[in-house]
């Protein structure tokens, strides 16, 4: 059961990181234009 919780945590963190990366990339594109 602990492994399942760990997997859920990793997936959640990766999702948050990808969201932050997408926002950062969008912000940089807006600045360049």
| pTM of the entire predicted model | 0.58
pLDDT of the residue at 30: 82
State how far the Cα of 30 lies from the Cα of 27, in Å rounded to an integer.
5
Distance (Å, rounded) from C-alpha 19 to C-alpha 27? Answer: 12
Tens digit of each residue's pLDDT (9 = 90 or more) over 1-33:
689 999 999 999 999 999 999 999 888 878 876
Residue 8's pLDDT is 96
Which pLDDT value is given to residue 5? 95
Measured at the alpha carbon of residue 28, what is the angle toward residues 23 and 29, in degrees to the nearest 5? 95
pLDDT the model gives residue 4: 94
For the chain, where are the alpha helices, taking DSSP H only? 2-32
Specify the pLDDT at position 22.
92
DSSP letter (8 states) at residue 1: -
């Amino acid at each position: 059961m602990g492994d399942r919780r760990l997997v859920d945590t990793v997936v959640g963190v990766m999702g948050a990181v990808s969201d932050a990366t997408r926002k950062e990339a969008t912000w940089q594109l807006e600045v360049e234009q």
